[in-house]
Structure 1
Amino acid sequence: MTKNNSKAVRDLIPEILKLSGRECMIRELSDSSFLPELENKLEEELQEYLESKELEELADLLEVIYRIAELRGSSKAELETIRQRKKHEKGGFEKNLLLVSSLKESSHPELCSAGSTESKHVVFKPEDAAVIEKKGVKMRIYTTKAESENAGVLYQETQKGHTEEFLHEKSDFIYYILEGSGVWIVEDREFEAQAGDVVVVPAGKRFWFRGNLKQVCITAPAWEEQYERHIRDLEL
């Protein structure tokens, strides 16, 4: 029985093999078929890093991770936003902490009270926010969820509008327009708005907007990606 040695490879590998005089057989898969192959590749790249500890292997891991995110409908920017949010909520790995044991019910809360006497984060600076561009809108996302699960805050700028109709199953979207004007299309109905106006889109309502705008968007409760539903992409 012939062993199956097929595996996901980088886009230029077939050309590189051909130039070196080596023959190869290549199949081009659909996104859905390629995804499990790429996830197998992730395991392979991780093992190679664990064996070599080389920086190049870490770079290979990142390349595979970014493509997996794309195939699952996200982008590098969205992945980075989630990474920064989780780092703000739970911290990174800079302190080299090792959890030796975990108490199911802490009758002695002082055993895990490092930093518990510190005050919560109150002021959030622009330089600490995650900055991404998504669907025609530049956004500055303030990672406030750890302090306030009841609401999230974004600053947005767009010259044309949001090129996606979507809905959020859990959060209301409340926009305060700082500059400019636009039109919100909510459940196929159009509503004009301008600087000084507030636009409220309740949870579960599909919507998008167009216009030249600078605005603050508050989501209540705080936005969570898992509850967002894509309807369709738009051209403005």
Structure 2
Amino acid sequence: MTENNSKAVRDFIPEVLKLSGKECIVRELSDSSFLPELEKKLEEELKEYFESKEIEELADLLEVIYRIAELRGSSKAELETIRQRKKQEKGGFEKNLLLLNLLEKSSYPGLRSAGSTESRRVVFKPEDAVVIEKKGVKMRIYTTKAESENAGVLYQETHKGHTEEFLHEKSDFIYYILEGDGVWIVEDREFEARAGDVVVVPAGKRFWFRGNLKQVCITAPAWEEQYECHIRDLEF
């Protein structure tokens, strides 16, 4: 009896094995079925890196991570944009910092709080925002989360609308339409809106929108990707 050692492999592995004189059985899975297998592959690649510390293993990790992002409705470019935004907000790891302990504020009353008005940004310029294009919408994301976790701000432009139905588990989405008009489809109900209107989509509601629009989107609390759920892609 053949032992079942099934695992996710790169696209050319069956051909590589065949050329080396080995036989194998492969099965092509749907995206939804392949995703958990690929996440197990991520654990496998991480373990191999810890054992070898080889740069090649890091490359394997990246390949798996990029594909997982795609299967979760994102892209390599979007993943890189999020990485850059988080680095801008919280920094990278270049300083080799190790957090030893968190101190109560009262322990050292002379220290200035990281949230004090002296250290907080007040004005955010367009040139400092992160610009991405996702699902038919060009977005300018203002990186305000470090200063205000209660809300996030995006400026959006689209000629046709948002080609994805999705929901966010934690954030309300509040749109103020600057120019144009469109239709918001919330839980399969249609709502028309135009310049000067405000559209409110509560957390947990499925929605998408179509139209030629320029608008500001406020997310409250500030948007976090981990709580966004892809429902389906749309074509129009």
TM (normalized to structure 1)? 0.77
Q: After superposition, give the CA deviation of every residue in 1:43-101 in whole Å (9 maximum; x if it has no partner).
A: 332233344444332221111112223344544345445434443443321211122x3
Q: For the structure 1 residues 70 and 98, does the alpha-carbon distance in structure 2 shift closer, same or farther, using more than 3 Å as the test?
A: same
Task: Name structure 2 gaps, 5 residues minimum.
Answer: none
Within 1, Cα distance between the matches of 2:104 and 2:51? 39
The CA deviation at 1:168 is 4.0
The answer on whether the counterparts of 1:17 and 1:24 sit within 8 Å (CA) in structure 2 is: yes
Percent of aligned pairs with the same residue?
81
Instruction: Name the structure 2 match of 1:26.
Output: 26
The answer on whether the counterparts of 2:135 and 2:162 sit within 8 Å (CA) in structure 1 is: yes
Q: For the structure 1 residues 133 and 27, does the alpha-carbon distance in structure 2 shift closer, same or farther, using more than 3 Å as the test?
A: same
Verify: 1:212 aligned to 2:208, yes or no.
no
Instruction: Name the structure 1 match of 2:154.
Output: 154
Select between 185-194 and 104-113 the one with higher mean Cα deviation: 104-113
Q: After superposition, give the CA deviation of every residue in 1:83-132 in whole Å (9 maximum; x if it has no partner).
A: 34443443321211122x31464653379879777611333344543333
Residue aligned with 1:183, SS: strand
Instruction: Name the structure 2 match of 1:131.
Output: 131
Verify: 1:46 aligned to 2:46, yes or no.
yes
Report the aligned-residue RMSD. Answer: 3.4
Residue aligned with 1:96, SS: coil
How many residues matched?
233
The CA deviation at 1:11 is 0.7
Within 1, Cα distance between the matches of 2:38 and 2:230? 24
Amino acid at match of 2:190: R
Q: For the structure 1 residues 91 and 233, does the alpha-carbon distance in structure 2 shift closer, same or farther, using more than 3 Å as the test?
A: same
Instruction: Name the structure 1 match of 2:192.
Output: 191
Instruction: Name the structure 1 match of 2:94.
Output: 94
Within 2, Cα distance between the matches of 1:169 and 1:74? 17
Residue aligned with 2:223, SS: coil
Residue aligned with 2:181, SS: strand
Q: For the structure 1 residues 76 and 106, does the alpha-carbon distance in structure 2 shift closer, same or farther, using more than 3 Å as the test?
A: same
Residue aligned with 2:18, SS: helix
Q: For the structure 1 residues 109 and 2, does the alpha-carbon distance in structure 2 shift closer, same or farther, using more than 3 Å as the test?
A: farther
Within 2, Cα distance between the matches of 1:45 and 1:111? 47
The CA deviation at 1:136 is 1.5
The answer on whether the counterparts of 1:167 and 1:203 sit within 8 Å (CA) in structure 2 is: no
Within 2, Cα distance between the matches of 1:19 and 1:112? 66
Amino acid at match of 2:107: H
Q: After superposition, give the CA deviation of every residue in 1:174-225 in whole Å (9 maximum; x if it has no partner).
A: 333344433334552332413xx23221415544322222222122332234
The CA deviation at 1:22 is 3.3
Within 2, Cα distance between the matches of 1:112 and 1:14? 61
Instruction: Name the structure 2 match of 1:57.
Output: 57
TM (normalized to structure 2)? 0.77
Task: Name structure 1 gaps, 5 residues minimum.
Answer: none
